């Protein structure tokens, strides 16, 4: 079995910015409430020609650049998304065309905010077995097209963006290696965050548009409780599975769901502030894109060195949740 490393990271956020002040003009809310309750100051929004696939392709190009791989080298493209360009075909197929990865297989993973972790787990196994050499795993969302801008409880949370990694076999003395990845789900909770209409069970109708059922419905309070305990469990599990303690982790890169959720989960685990990567103030919750964007920013800002232990974790609609523990390797592109 191959050891598998992250060989490159990349991210792309769209050009539009929605500030809390912008939201104050649309719904009954305030900058103070949003910052206090979520930690979010602004989020990004697609403009003009920007789409989920185009953000994905830009993020992928940057990750491939770092990894030193050409389009023709890519064997497989996995995109975690619930807001792809179309219901079908898969956004991964559009990315395959846009980056010219003509040899690659391509498919999407639907696991909402856990989509990148689900994709990473699959990609890891594909390279581990030797079936594929260069696998692109992307998390990408354009949720601003699916949120209800009349619902102050949810529209303040979400933003658009994409993050990507290239997975390759780790060779020689490169320490880079995915050490574990675990996936979980609880389908009994499928209506806590969902879009009720637009699938094959209930198609769009005039009535469903009037009731705004084609947009995200969220029971924020229910998710909040689940989120704090799940994030804590995901970190704890990752540590136990690898026989390591919290102080040995260089960085936790959590799903950027809500600053209060992240802080509450990490406090109970004695993680120091500098061990937890946070960028939610700039992007809000970008769902499947949140972990790979954060990982890319952590890497490019020079926070990670070869040998560092990193834990990734996310949870979301489904409900789904997952984690991964990795040892960082010799990845290009970090600011020295």
Ligand X SMILES: CC(C)(COP(=O)(O)OP(=O)(O)OC[C@H]1O[C@@H](n2cnc3c(N)ncnc32)[C@H](O)[C@@H]1OP(=O)(O)O)[C@@H](O)C(=O)NCCC(=O)NCCS
Catalytic residues: 113, 255, 285
Report if residue 184 touches ligand X, rule: CB under 6 A: no
Buried b (16+ CB within 10 A) or exposed e, 188-203: ebeebbbebbeeeeee
Footprint of ligand X on 140-159 (CB under 6 A)? 152-153, 156-157
Contacts of 89 (CB under 8 A, 6+ apart): none
Which one of residues 6, 77, 193, 234 is an interface residue with ligand X (CB under 6 A)?
A: 193
224, 242, 278, 330: which one binds ligand X (CB under 6 A): 224
Nearest distance in Å: CB 265, ligand X: 12
Which of 143, 218, 295, 311 touches ligand X (CB under 6 A)?
218
100: left (phi over 0), alpha (psi -120 to 50) or beta: left
Q: How many residues bind ligand X (CB under 6 A)?
A: 21
Query: Is 83 an interacting residue with respect to ligand X (CB under 6 A)?
Result: no
- Do residues 4 and 177 make contact, with C-beta atoms less than 8 angstroms apart? yes
- For the bound state, the minimum distance from the C-beta of residue 57 to ligand X, rounded and expressed in Å, comes to 25
Query: Alpha carbon of 75 to those of 58, 121, 132, 287, 326: distances in Å?
Result: 18, 16, 6, 25, 22
316 binds ligand X (CB under 6 A): yes
Determine if 217 is a binding residue for ligand X (CB under 6 A). no
221 binds ligand X (CB under 6 A): yes
C-alpha count within 13 angstroms, C-beta hemisphere, residue 322? 24
Residues that bind ligand X (CB under 6 A): 29, 33-34, 37-38, 113, 152-153, 156-157, 193, 218, 220-221, 223-224, 227, 257-258, 285, 316
């Amino acid at each position: 079995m191959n050891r598998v490393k992250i060989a490159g990271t990349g991210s792309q956020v769209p050009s539009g910015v929605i500030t809390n002040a912008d939201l104050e003009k649309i719904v009954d809310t305030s900058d103070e409430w949003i910052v206090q309750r979520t930690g979010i100051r602004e989020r990004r929004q697609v403009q003009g020609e920007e789409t989920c696939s185009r953000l994905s392709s830009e993020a992928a190009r940057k990750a491939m650049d770092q990894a030193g791989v050409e389009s023709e080298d890519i064997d497989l493209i996995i995109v975690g998304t619930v807001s792809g360009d179309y219901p079908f075909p898969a956004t991964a197929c559009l990315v395959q065309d846009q980056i010219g990865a003509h040899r690659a297989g391509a498919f999407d993973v639907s696991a909402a905010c856990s989509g990148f972790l689900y994709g990473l787990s699959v990609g890891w196994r594909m390279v581990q077995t030797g079936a594929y050499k260069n696998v692109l795993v992307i998390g990408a969302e354009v949720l601003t097209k699916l949120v209800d801008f009349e619902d102050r409880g949810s529209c303040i949370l979400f933003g658009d963006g994409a993050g990507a990694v290239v997975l390759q076999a780790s060779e020689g003395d490169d320490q880079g290696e995915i050490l574990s990845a675990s996936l979980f789900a609880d389908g009994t909770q499928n209506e806590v965050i969902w879009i009720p209409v637009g699938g094959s069970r209930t198609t769009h109708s005039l009535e469903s548009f009037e009731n705004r059922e084609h947009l995200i419905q969220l029971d924020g309070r229910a998710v909040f409780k689940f989120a704090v305990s799940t994030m804590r469990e995901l970190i704890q599990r990752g540590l136990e599975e690898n026989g390591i303690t919290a102080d040995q982790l260089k960085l936790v890169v959590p799903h950027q769901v809500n600053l209060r959720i992240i802080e509450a989960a990490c406090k109970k685990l004695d993680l120091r502030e500098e061990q937890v990567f946070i960028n939610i103030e700039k992007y809000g919750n970008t769902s499947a894109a949140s972990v790979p964007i954060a990982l890319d920013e952590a890497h490019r800002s020079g926070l990670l060195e070869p040998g560092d232990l990193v834990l990734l974790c996310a949870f979301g609609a489904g409900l789904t949740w997952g984690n991964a523990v990795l040892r960082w390797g010799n990845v290009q592109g970090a600011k020295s």
